[in-house]
Structure formats: C-alpha cells, structure tokens
Amino acid sequence: MSIEINLNDHVATITFNDKQEVFSVETSKQLSAVVEGLEMSSRVDVVILEHAENAGGKWAALNSVQSPTNERYVEIRELSAGIQAIAALRQPVIATCAGDLQGPGMELYLAADIRFAGLNSTFRMSEAAEDRLPMSGAGQRLVRAVGRAQALRMLLLGSPMDVEEAFRIGLISSSSNTTLAEAQLAGEEIASRGPLAVRTFKEALHKGAEMTLEQALQYELDLTILLQSTEDRKEGVDAFLEKRTPDFRAR
C-alpha cells in the first residue's frame, strides 16, 4: 500500500492511495513510520485520515497462522501497531470515510478523535461472526464513543449501520457529500488555535476519561495552571487586547 502525506498550513493529511482488500504488516509499519514523523514535527498541529475505508476491510493475519503461537502473537501486535500509533498521537486526528467501513478500516476510523462520514457510508463490526475480537482495541474505543449498550449491539449483532443511526448514537460528528472538505475546514480551524492548548485538551479528556470525576477535575486544573506560564498564553492575551490574530509558536 502506498501512503501519501500532504502538509498544508499545519494540517497533515494521510491518504491511502489505493483501496486495499487486506491490511498487512507492511501497511502497519508504513503507517507507524508516518505517525512517528508527524509526532516529531513542530509543523503539524492536526492530522486528517482521508477515506479510512481504503485501509482495507480484512486483516492479513486471518489468512495465515490459525493456531495461538508466539509467531501469531507477534504478527497481531505488528498488525495493530500502526492503528495504535494513530490513537496515541498528541495532535487531534480527524477521520473521513465515504464507503463501507469494517475490519481494519473501522478500527482506524475509531482511533480518530473526530469522525466525518459520507451520506452513503456504512459501519460494521463483524468480528463476532468470525469468532474473534477486534485486533486493535476497537471494542474498547467503541464503548467509550457510544456507550456500552450501543457498542454491544454493534459488536454482537454485526449488522451494517447507516450514517443516520451512526450520527444518532454519537459514532460520527456529521455526514455530508463533502466530507474531506469539511474535515480540512475543521482541521484549519483547529490549527489556528493555540497548539499547546489543543494538545492539552486532548490529553485532559483522554486521560480524564480513565479517572474518577474528582481526579479528572484536579488533573485538568493542574494542566490549566501549567498553560498559564507559556509564551503562547501571553501571546493569546496580547493578541486579544490588541485585536489581532495571535502568532502562536507552541512555546
């Protein structure tokens, strides 16, 4: 699979050039390498995944070793590494889809923070019909996105879900025929905000979701206090008082 990166105004778009039937270890390694470069870049504030369904509807591992061996365990870890890397990005990730999502494409989609979908998109978790679980933690991400009852409905029934239902339960943020344009507009808007605040928001919500409310409130307060001492915070206040666009430097 060929993965292309396009950077425009601090927004990086990851494109899967050719629609794949299977998601392979090689694809996962390519994706991990791409993510590592984005993570280290000071020029990237938002990441967009274009057409997540092109990542593939099946896992390559299902056609290989069937017994629970050490080699199979390593293979599954390598397959899931690319998607786990997307989920661990400090920058917010926006995913788009315009077709049928299942398998690795669905898992990649769930690893994003904000999800846009085309009007004809469908979403399916078909693992139970194959007597297995998701390979990259999609079950855990799904329950955090839509709640336990809706997650179990998708995971146990495995029926395709249309965009209207996906929007109703909170799986997607919006649907349209111009999902990529909508994602790019959202990415540009987010990139215009203070980059330290944007990344800290993501950190606070992701980590806070694993804490008690009291702990999460204290954690967010601690992060708020830390941000008060940054150069960007001073620049934001100065720009507001001077009625100009702030020039954030992520410092």
Whether residue 184 is contained in a domain is answered as: yes
Number of domains in the chain: 2
- Is position 230 within any domain? yes
For residue 102, the enclosing domain spans 3-191
* Residues that are catalytic: 107, 127
Q: Tell me, yes or no, whether 120 lies in a domain.
A: yes
Q: Domain check: are 111 and 223 in the same one?
A: no
Q: Are 82 and 185 members of one domain? A: yes
Q: Do 187 and 228 share a domain, yes or no?
A: no
Q: pLDDT tens digits, the chain, 251 residues: what are they?
A: 578 889 988 999 999 876 777 788 888 899 999 999 998 888 899 999 988 777 766 666 555 545 556 667 777 788 889 999 999 999 999 999 988 888 888 999 999 999 999 999 999 998 888 888 888 888 999 999 999 999 999 999 999 999 999 999 999 999 998 899 999 999 999 999 888 999 999 999 999 999 999 999 999 999 989 888 888 788 777 777 778 787 777 77
Token look-up 């209207």 returns 164
Same domain? 16 vs 74 = yes
User: Does one domain contain both 97 and 220?
Assistant: no
174 and 202 assigned to the same domain: no
| Whether 82 and 114 share a structural domain | yes
In this prediction the pTM is: 0.88
CATH number at 183 reads 3.90.226.10
Sheet of 11-16, strand order: 3-8, 11-16, 46-50, 93-97, 114-118, 174-176
Q: In this structure, are 27 and 108 located in the same domain?
A: yes
Q: Whole-angstrom Cα distance, residue 148 to residue 84?
A: 21
What is the Cα–Cα distance from 147 to 209, expressed in whole angstroms?
13
Q: Is there a single domain that holds both residue 92 and residue 163? A: yes
The domain that contains 210 carries what CATH number? Answer: 1.10.12
d(CA 245, CA 241): 11
Q: Quote the tokens at residue 1.
A: 């699979």
Instruction: For residues 174 and 226, state if they share a domain.
Output: no
Give the amino acid at 103.
Answer: G
* Confidence at residue 146, expressed as pLDDT on a 0 to 100 scale: 94
Regarding whether 142 and 44 lie in a shared domain, the answer is: yes
Shared domain check, 106 and 156: yes
